[in-house]
Structure 1
């Protein structure tokens, strides 16, 4: 599927056909995560995760930051 970048305010955006969004279960207002993988952009629906009792969201923010920072190192450890 090819789409054109469109000016939205001071940014650029991409629109998607409603049929595709329906198949993926996405609708206006949903959060998505955008990931850069080389010259590829991966867009995924964000899943709301219920936090376990007693664990703050700050912990998961820090965990996410470290997972991204050490992604390559962790992958190499798995390969060992």
Structure 2
């Protein structure tokens, strides 16, 4: 089954689960960005990206979408 066929015939729970996994991936990237910012060599090179806010927002949205899709995925 190709990706196009899967997305065409996927249920709403599967689509929400995929979005949830994508948001968790963004949260992990933001976590790595924050860790890199904290270990910078120059203390005055703070940066402008709010990594903590990006992490919290995407983690909460991702966890919510995964929780909502779990019931639909378990039901089949």
More helix by share: 2
Q: TM-score, normalised by structure 2?
A: 0.22
More strand by share: 1
Structure number with the bigger relative contact order (C-alpha 8 A, sep ≥ 6) is 2
Q: TM-score, normalised by structure 1?
A: 0.22
